[in-house]
Amino acid sequence: MKLRQPKWKTVEYSRTQIIRAGKTIKKDLFRDEQEREETRKIIDNWRAAHAFPLHIIYTHLRRFAKGNNNIIVAERLKRMNSIISKLKREPNMSLWTMQDLGGCRIIVPSIDDVYKYSKIYETSRKRHHRKKIYDYMETPKESGYRSYHVVYEYHSDSNDAYNNNMLIELQFRTQLQHLWATAVETMGLLTNQSLKSGQGSDDVKRFFALVSSLFAIKEKTTTVPCTPNNPVKIIQEIMELNVKNNYLAQLDGIKEIVAYEQNKLSRKSTYFVLLLNYVSRKLSVFTFKSSEFEEANQKYNELEEQKWCGNLDVVLVRVSKFSDLRKAYPNYFNDITTFTNIVRSYINGDTIP
C-alpha cells in the first residue's frame, strides 16, 4: 500500500506582500474586515510554508536522540498571537525576517550536552546556512531566560521551492532550563499575562529571575543580571517573595484543577494541536499523523480564530510520541511538580546549589 504523503504548503505571496502584511497588522491599519482577513491569510501562509523546512531539520535532529530517552526533540509553528505581539513589541521587527516562525526545541541533560549537540548538528551533513547564535547561558536575559539558540536559513540543492529566506530557530536547553521556562509559561497562563515578554508584576518577574540565577549556579554558568551571586542571599529573597505572594502554592494548585481530553490517539500520531482554556482549566488535545500536516494546520487556524473570543491558548507542535509531548510542553498539562519541588528543596535547605 502506498503511504500517504503530507501536503506541504508553499509560499503563495511575494516578499513585498509579506512585509506589507506584517506592517499592516503591527499598526492595525485595516481599511475593512476583508483586508484584515487577507492579511491574516498572508501571515498564515508564510508561517505554514515553514513547516517543510522545519520538518527536514526536525527529522535530522531526531537522529541524534534515537535510542536516548534523556533527549527530547520537538518542533512548533509560532502562534499567531505571538507573531503579532512580537511585531508590535519590537519596532524594527519584520515578518519577512522573523527568525522563529518555525522552531525546534532540543532538551538535553546538561550544559555540556547543549554545546555538544549543537556542534554535532553544525558539523553534520546539511546545506542550511547558520545565520546567528544567541548564547543566553553565557549572557542570560534579565527575565532569567537561559538557553542556546542557533538560527539557520534553510537551503536545499535539489529543491528551490523553500530556498526563500526560510529561517528556523533551534533552541538547545538543559532540563533545568526547560523546567524554569515552562514554569514561567504556566504562571503566565494562570495570570493571563505573557511573563516571558516582560508583562506581569515586578514581584513575579523578580521571583523567576532569582530562581533562574539559582539554577545557573547549580549549572556553573552566568547568573542573571541584577541578581545576587551568593546563593544564600538568592534563597532568602526567593523565600520572602514566596511568603508574600504564595507563588509555589499557586503553581501547585493549578495542576489539581486541570482536566484534559483528546481525540483518537494513534501510535502514528506526531502532530498535536493543544487548546488550553485557562479559565475552565481544560486542555483539549487534537492528534494527527505525520501525513496529516494540512489537516493539523487547518485545525490550528480554526482554533486560533476562536482564541479571540475567550481565554484560550493554542499551539501546533510535533514530537515523536505522546509521552514526549508532556515533557516538552508540561505547561499545557500543568505538570510542573518537579519545578516546585526543586525550589522548595532549596528553601528548606535540603539542597545546596
Beta strands in 82-153, from DSSP E residues, in sequence order? 102-108, 129-135, 148-153
So what's the pLDDT on residue 329? 73
So what's the pLDDT on residue 285? 84
- Measured CA to CA, the distance from residue 249 to residue 251 in angstroms comes to 5
Confidence class for position 258, pLDDT limits 50, 70, 90: very low
Bridging pattern class, strands 167-174 and 102-108: parallel
What is the number of residues in the chain? 353
Closest CA to 80 of 279, 294, 300, 283: 300
Q: Is the pLDDT of residue 335 over 90?
A: no
Mean pLDDT of all residues in 172-176: 96
Q: Is the pLDDT of residue 241 over 80?
A: yes
Say what the alpha-carbon torsion angle 208, 214, 218, 219 is, to the nearest 10 degrees: 50
All three cell numbers of 168, joined, read 528556523
Q: Is the pLDDT of residue 191 over 90?
A: no
Q: Is the pLDDT of residue 306 over 90?
A: no
DSSP 23: H
Mean pLDDT of all residues in 101-114: 96
Q: Is the pLDDT of residue 88 over 80?
A: yes
Q: Give the CATH fold of the 49-347 domain.
A: Beta Polymerase; domain 2 (3.30.460)
So what's the pLDDT on residue 275? 82
Confidence class for position 257, pLDDT limits 50, 70, 90: very low
Q: Is the pLDDT of residue 277 over 50?
A: yes
Mean pLDDT of all residues in 205-222: 97
- Measured CA to CA, the distance from residue 127 to residue 153 in angstroms comes to 9
pLDDT digits (tens, 9 = 90+) for 125-137: 999 999 999 999 9
So what's the pLDDT on residue 231? 94
Is pLDDT larger for residue 314 or for residue 151?
Answer: 151
pLDDT digits (tens, 9 = 90+) for 55-66: 999 999 999 888
Q: CA 1 from chain center: how many Å? A: 36
Is pLDDT larger for residue 334 or for residue 353?
Answer: 353
Active site residues: 169
> DSSP 3-state assignment of 66?
coil
Element holding 74 (H helix, E strand): strand 72-77
DSSP 316: E
**Number of neighbours of residue 314 by Cβ within 10 angstroms:** 24
Mean pLDDT of all residues in 234-260: 81
- Measured CA to CA, the distance from residue 54 to residue 170 in angstroms comes to 10
Q: Are 287 and 262 in contact (CB under 8 A)?
A: yes
Averaged confidence pLDDT in the chain: 87
- Measured CA to CA, the distance from residue 258 to residue 89 in angstroms comes to 31
Q: Is the pLDDT of residue 298 over 50?
A: yes
Q: Is the pLDDT of residue 117 over 60?
A: yes
Is pLDDT larger for residue 18 or for residue 67?
Answer: 18
For residues 262-291, b (16+ Cβ closer than 10 Å) or e, as one string?
eeeeeeebbbbbbbbbbeebebbbbbbbbe
Mean pLDDT of all residues in 211-217: 97
So what's the pLDDT on residue 3? 44
Is pLDDT larger for residue 336 or for residue 72?
Answer: 72
So what's the pLDDT on residue 218? 95
What angle, 0 to 180 degrees and rounded to 10, lies between the N-to-C axes of helices 202-218 and 337-347? 80
> DSSP 3-state assignment of 42?
helix
Q: Are 129 and 152 in contact (CB under 8 A)?
A: yes
